[in-house]
Amino acid sequence: MISARLSAFKNAPEKIFSEGYTKLTRYFSEFGFDLKASDPHLFFILSGGSELFAIEQMSEGNFYLLLASGENNSWAAATEIKAWMDEHRIDGMLFDLENYNDLAKIKNIFTLIEALAGLQGKSIGLIGEPSEWLVASDVDIKALKARFGLSIQKVQWTDIPDYKIFEPDLRFTAKYPFHNKQSVSDASKVKQALQFIIHRNKFDAITVECFSLVQEKGVTACLALSDFNDQGTAAGCEGDLTSISGMMFLEAVTGIIPWMANLVKISNDRVRFAHCTAPVSLLEQYKVDTHFETGKGTAVAGKFSGEIITVFRWNRLLTRAFVAKGKITEKIQSPDQACRTMIEACLDSEKTSHLKNNPLGNHHLILPGDHTEQIQLACRLKGVLAE
């Protein structure tokens, strides 16, 4: 549902509004419109003299669409409103109702608005605590709720049944062959335990403090988290709330759950990324290996599919985001150098300079293909500065 306002001069006849609504529903028949919501996305400027009505309903930090037509001094009012918005640093776009290209752009924005609205009310489960080394990734919980409607609920490992009581999933063990069958069986049981918690608490996504699990139990969550992502439930590691919220955002915008990866090295226009939880649907080939840092348990070692990627991360305050297109230059198999799945990618030198000199943190999210424009637009709709 798109919240909208029909803006006309004071005491305008009902006919102007009814004709405006008819046009709106005719041009955008695939969308529904709420004309009474308190936070409109769209102002359809029906006539001159509507300027004050529109700006009185706008506030800083929000994004607004202005729609103008060739009738009743609509453009005159719309440009005056847009000038006021620019002066007051209120972001928005002005579109022409009679322009085919503009209509396609508006429909894309409407689709994004509805996709992002789908995040409202969703819940992230934090299993354990954020890892102590994530000093720049403890997301602002209030900002996450206010801006995206996402909430976080913490569950301690002591509140989760021992993974050993669960039966291994035959689908899981067949999907991930490994010479150490017990390790894969244990990974399957870990996933069953986490699935139990997801169902019990109705979580839509999880992020897991995984090192305590391997230190205390000798098993890893890597393979389980990879499989969650592969099966459509966003799952991150190290209790990184910034990354898991970004994963949910990217899934809403692109339909793809990304790979959460470490920054391994930045050199000129080259960046290396690696991690042990890549979803196998994003890999052209893969095998099961042990966890890199400990040599225990199981993890995914694979070659990322394709050549073009999108790299994304936002800061813990959800005010800034890094978005870049890259080209994979090497799909590295180096078991002693970094986490099991690793790529080297070429980015614009300005982007690599930004990563080096003004990083938003370590973990970055990797998507196959170029989604930069769509992600930048989605960030703009939510008041996040995409750099």
Give me the pLDDT at residue 34, please: 96
Give me the pLDDT at residue 275, please: 86
- Enter the pTM of the model: 0.94
Q: What is the pLDDT of residues 188-218, one digit of tens each?
A: 999 999 999 999 999 999 999 977 776 677 7
Positive or negative, the CA dihedral 174, 175, 177, 181 is negative
Report strand pairing: 364-368 vs 308-314.
antiparallel
Q: pLDDT tier at 291 (50, 70, 90 boundaries)?
A: low
**Percentage of residues in the chain having pLDDT higher than 90:** 83
| C-alpha to C-alpha distance for 313 and 324, rounded to whole angstroms | 10
Give me the pLDDT at residue 215, please: 67
Specify the DSSP element, H or E, that contains 273.
strand 270-275
| C-alpha to C-alpha distance for 177 and 289, rounded to whole angstroms | 10
Indicate the burial class of 39 (C-beta count within 10 angstroms; 0-12, 13-18, 19 or more): exposed
The pLDDT of residue 338 is above 50: no
The pLDDT of residue 337 is above 60: no
Q: What is the pLDDT of residues 109-140, one digit of tens each?
A: 999 999 999 999 999 999 999 988 899 899 99
Positive or negative, the CA dihedral 219, 221, 227, 228 is positive
Tokens read off for 18: 């009814």
The angle, 0 to 180 degrees and rounded to 10, between the axes of the packed helices 181-201 and 222-230 is: 60
The answer for residues whose C-beta is within 8 angstroms of residue 316's C-beta and 6 or more apart is 136, 137, 138, 139, 140, 241, 242, 361
Mean pLDDT of the chain: 93
* Domains of the chain listed by start with CATH number: 2-117 (3.40.50.10940), 123-386 (no CATH)
Q: Let me know: does 81 contact 64? Beta carbons within 8 Å.
A: no
Q: Let me know: does 98 contact 26? Beta carbons within 8 Å.
A: no
Residue 141, amino acid: I
In this structure, the number of other CB atoms found within 10 A of the CB of residue 225 comes to 31
Range name among 2-6, 64-68, 152-156, 265-269 with the lowest pLDDT average: 265-269
